[in-house]
Amino acid sequence: MKKTIYIFSDGELQRKDNTIYFSTTEGKKYLPVEDINELFVFGEVSLNKRFLEFVSQKEILIHYFNYYGYYMGTFYPREHYNSGYMILRQAEHYLDHEKRMAIAKQFVSGAVANIRRVLRYYQNRGKNLHGTLEAIDNLEQSLESCSNVSELMALEGNIRNYYYKAFDHILENPDFVFEERSRRPPKNYLNSLISFGNSILYACILSEIYRTHLDPRIGFLHATNFRRFSLNLDVAEIFKPIIIDRLIFTMIGKKMITKDDFEKGMEGIVLKESARKKFVDEMDKRLKVTIKHRSTGKEVSYRRLIRLELYKLEKHLMGENMYEPFIAQW
């Protein structure tokens, strides 16, 4: 499996012959270009066109984050796998209301099923989550009656509100109280952690989309527009509860991250660099964890599960199999 490289230091990315290296005041570190899937850049890093041409040839994506850890954008090389046929199928399913709704409902259904898995996992470990589960079950009953994407997004938002309020019961930590979901800027430690984790997942999924025939600009639950990728946001709904949220609960529960790992700045409450390093390191480990795949019976990593999810979507778009989202079985 190819590696993800995280760069937190300031410096310069350069090409030398058929390899690349990262140069800082402390020296040069050569990077194994054939083994790199993507680069996550958090530091102040400069590079030139020659470097970009080379990593484009090697099909390496570069995800950029600003000083505060907010996602800024991605260098998305020319697609080597992109298919005109697949783009047309995506566009057809987006423009046809019934076809778009069918896929969008599956994304929400998968998200809710995995939210329920997480809640039941902690309920079985003594957390009082019966009321939350009952409220979510009641809300989910209206999923099929949603007639448009706006209603679907509103329903999913209401379900997530109940889910996020349950974080306090799961964590039982006065330093990490949810209050309400807040984004740029996050108003408390927990929201800051959720936002950072989600942004890393969005970028990881974008890298997996690049390895398929799908176009990341055409989503189904999140509206397609001229400013951003949207398909990765759709797929992330399924995996956020079982990858990001479970990781957050583990790291806070084991005191791997405490209130001392945050600082307040102009961009709200943000993770310190040392905590960001800890989080991405643990997330990298989480993505490599393997589980037995229901269909094949083989051990696959969570990272591979994301790719398999995209392949299922491709088959749906081509009319081969109806898309059904991945649902965790633990």
Of 56, 24, 16, the C-alpha closest to 39 is 56
- pLDDT of the residue at 312: 96
- pLDDT of the residue at 142: 93
H or E element in which residue 93 lies: helix 84-95
What are the φ/ψ torsions at residue 203 (nearest 5 degrees)? -70, -40
Of 140, 306, 330, the C-alpha closest to 238 is 306
User: Under CATH, which number does the domain 84-317 receive?
Assistant: 1.20.120.920
Which is it for the CA torsion 320, 213, 289, 298, positive or negative?
A: positive
Per domain, the residue ranges of the chain are 3-75, 84-317
Q: So what's the architecture of 3-75 in CATH?
A: Ribosomal Protein L15; Chain: K; domain 2 (3.100)
Q: Which residue has the tokens 């609960």?
A: 249
Q: Residue 218: how many CA atoms within 13 Å on its side-chain side?
A: 20
Whether 278 contacts 257, CB under 8 Å: yes
Q: How are strands ordered across the β-sheet holding 11-16?
A: 27-31, 19-24, 11-16, 45-46
Q: Show the tokens assigned to 16.
A: 């030398």
pLDDT along the chain (330 residues), means of 10: 91 92 91 93 94 94 89 86 87 97 97 97 94 96 94 95 95 87 76 93 96 94 80 97 97 96 85 94 94 81 95 96 91
- pLDDT of the residue at 153: 94
